[in-house]
Amino acid sequence: MSVRQDIRPAPFPARRLKEYARAALSHLPASGADVRIRIVGDAAIARWNRDYLGRGSPTNVLSFPESADAPARGAGVTGDIVVSAPTCLAQTAGWKEPPAARVFFFILHGILHLAGYDHESGGAQARRMRRKELALFRRVLGEEGRERKH
């Protein structure tokens, strides 16, 4: 796993983002993981969004699976996640969590996409992904809180 921050100065401790992501992956039924996370600004993610999805505006997160095939249940989670820190922080401005945790929420969203979860079609799939996303977010942040107390 790697975390690259293209914003200077780097706004978040890369170690913390890796810890969050590793904790989330440990709760997925995946045989392994190779996830590359890139933290960028709005202009950069708008270019990625335009080039790969045909949408010319900034978004919070984009995920790019290693393979075009849908991952099999329990298969490894592999691919790239690109996150716009400014968009993520703006969209979570009212949250009580620290900035790194708020950006992790969107990294987690990307991880779930790489693991085969989907919300684009709506309905039951979207609800399933949202439930998993919220449960994992709470679990990972809860684990972090317990670790800091010891």
Give the Cα separation of 81 and 61 in Å (integer).
7
**For the chain, domain boundaries:** 2-149
Residues (pLDDT < 70) of the chain are: 69-75, 144-150
Give the torsion through C-alpha atoms of 48, 137, 7, 19, to 10 deg.
Answer: -120
* pLDDT, position 74: 57
* pLDDT, position 11: 85
**The CATH number of 2-149 is which of 3.30.1950.10, 3.40.50.1400, 1.10.3720.10, 3.40.390.30?**
3.40.390.30
* pLDDT, position 73: 57
Furthest-apart CA atoms within the chain: distance in Å: 48
82-124: per-residue pLDDT in tens?
999 999 999 999 999 999 999 999 999 999 999 989 888 889 9
At 53, list the tokens. Answer: 């999805």
**DSSP character at residue 7:** S
* pLDDT, position 144: 65
* pLDDT, position 121: 81
